[in-house]
Structures are given as C-alpha cells and as structure tokens.
Amino acid sequence: MAMRLLVAVKRVIDYAVKVRVKPDHTGVVTDGVKHSMNPFCEISVEEAVRLKEKKHAKEVIVVSCGPQQCQETIRTALAMGADRGIHVEVTGKDYETLGPLQVSKILAALAKKEEADLILLGKQ
C-alpha cells in the first residue's frame, strides 16, 4: 500500500552565512541575509522522495509555515522531487510568536485534511 507523505520544511539563515546579533541583543539580524532550507529538512525531503521512488509512497507533500519568502523553500523541495507544496502564510506579530506548539497544531490539522499516512520532520 502506497502512503501519502507530509514533509515539514523550514526556512532558516543559510549555514554558510556568519550570523550577527542585533545591537539590542533581542535576536539575530535577518534583513538582507541569505536564507535556505534547513539542512535537516532537506534530508527529510530526500528520504520522502526515495520512498516515492521505491513505490512505498504515492505522493510527497511539503509544508512550510511563515512569511511569503517561505515559498522559495517550497520551490526547492518541489525541485528535489516533491509532488505538491502547501504554504501556511504567517506574518507580522503572529510570525514572531510562532513556536513549536503552534506549528505542531498546524501540521496535525494539515495531516488530517490531506489524509497523510506519515509525517517526516527535520531534526530541529
């Protein structure tokens, strides 16, 4: 029986970029900094595509939560072999407070709606 896979992907500051702390020490500088897919999420997408190639999965759906720029991350996953992408747009103050609990609730709702058999996540 072929499964439908849901893969969560996260947009992060590129690993090759030197991270700078904001002058007020409230976080890191993200303006004008190159972002890419979290390397651990990339491994999850690769594994999902492998499962599809082995005919263990019928569809690979990637999902990302965040601002409009997350669409780049979804497009990268689609180029890797995913079938579909879902972008849950979260902006402004909602994005600043978006934490693991909120993301897990979003993923649970999407998994139910998409009838996903397996959810693959990165390490962190």
Average pLDDT, the chain: 90
The pLDDT tens digits for 75-89 are 999 999 999 999 999
**In Å, how far are 6, 9, 104, 118 from 64, measured between CA atoms?**
11, 5, 12, 16
- What CATH fold (topology level) applies to the domain 3-11+38-121? Rossmann fold (3.40.50)
Q: What is the pTM of this model?
A: 0.86
Provide mean pLDDT across the span 61-85.
95
Question: What pLDDT was estimated at residue 74?
Answer: 97
Torsion of CA 78, 81, 109, 103, to 10 degrees: -60
The pLDDT tens digits for 8-52 are 999 887 777 777 787 887 777 667 778 889 999 999 999 999 999
Question: What pLDDT was estimated at residue 105?
Answer: 94
CB 49 within 8 A of CB 76: no
Q: Where are the alpha helices (DSSP H) in 1-124?
A: 39-53, 70-80, 92-96, 100-114
Provide mean pLDDT across the span 96-111.
92
**Quick check: 1 pLDDT over 70?**
no
